[in-house]
Structure 1
Amino acid sequence: MIAKSRIHESCRLYGINTIGRNCTILENVTLGYPSGRILDEIAAAGATPETYSYVGVRLGDDAVIRPGSTLYCDVVIGNALRTGHNALIRENTLIGDRVLVGTNVVIDGNCRIGNRVSIQSNVYIPTNTTIEDNVFLGPCSVLTNDKYPIRIPYDLKGPVLRKGASVGANATILPGVEIGEGAMVAAGALVTKDVPAWKLAIGAPAKIVELPEALRSLNRI
């Protein structure tokens, strides 16, 4: 279902998508791309992605999706989404209202992202990550979810970023780490342990220090 929105003729739509009012979807955007599970179903049914019926994207009002971006199936997004170019949002992801997903961002599925979140260019967000309201992620910051990559079994667990947290450019946050409410992670930091609310993580590996009084306010997003 598409309600009074502008969709470029080069866009590819898979599955059953619901698109809100006043959306602008630009060149070469893909909506509802099938996940691995859906592709298996399609193969078993002897069908094609173009003809098989499954749940695609549910997109709120006033979105702007820029060229080259791909949103997989089972993605639910609130109002006023903005993407840069070539953003990728994988399946089973829930995103709130007024969220920015910058150029070349990868959100790798099974993620929960709140309202008024700003995700700058080239950020990587792995499977099973939770990001609450008013969080800022600086350019090229990397979140991780595999504590022992490939070597031994590990239940993938992404970080948890609490309300109003800020992560600086090129910072790396290790699996399962919690960044507390209002906390800040300095640019280039390597965060290996939880950061308490309203504290600052700085350095590699990061040390926890007091947050300057001037920075003790929620992000203005």
Structure 2
Amino acid sequence: MKKSTKLMSIAFLVLFISAFTANTIVDGGYKIGDVAEDFSLKNIDGKMVSLADYKDAKGFIVIFTCNTCPYAVMYEDRIQALNEKYAQKGYPVIAIMPNNTDVKPGDALPEMKKRAEEKGFTFPYLIDEKQEVYPKFGATKTPHVFVLQKGDGLNIVEYIGAIDDNYKDPNAVTTKYVEEAVDAMLNGKMVKEKETKAIGCSIKV
């Protein structure tokens, strides 16, 4: 009887874990066409920032990034360039730092502020302190991009993935995924390549 009870307990545990894993996969963040929820996160200047603050925006380039990931560092200038090119056209960059700062102290708010000043960031650099926003998006890497299109008061996910196809050398890039997506939306066209694989460091929890 004891052995049978033990086996039943193990079987139940396996089923529970399987169910949880399945739900995690199914609910793994936004998909193309989903509506992205707004959020309120602290910026490096101490102020809270939400998508709703951008009344005149046509959409957003939401990028999960950080200070300490080499991939993210290699993309810093390109992220700045995206904001310079598209913010005035209605698609500002909203950068979010998703890492656990106990694991990565170099990503703490004071370090974020220091890095932003050094690089001359012109976009908000927000911290997901409670690590509640990045799971909703389904971000897994730094950097990881989500391009949103505003419509009827909603923020629709139109592109998910990488910034471009060469993280090592900006001069060797052949396809600029984010630029192509935003350009298509600006011209009232469908985004051709809606999803690519994000290349970067895993988000630290």
- Of Structure 1 and Structure 2, the greater helix share is in 2
TM-score by length of 1: 0.23
TM-score by length of 2: 0.24
Larger CA Rg, structure 1 vs 2 = 2
- Of Structure 1 and Structure 2, the greater strand share is in 1
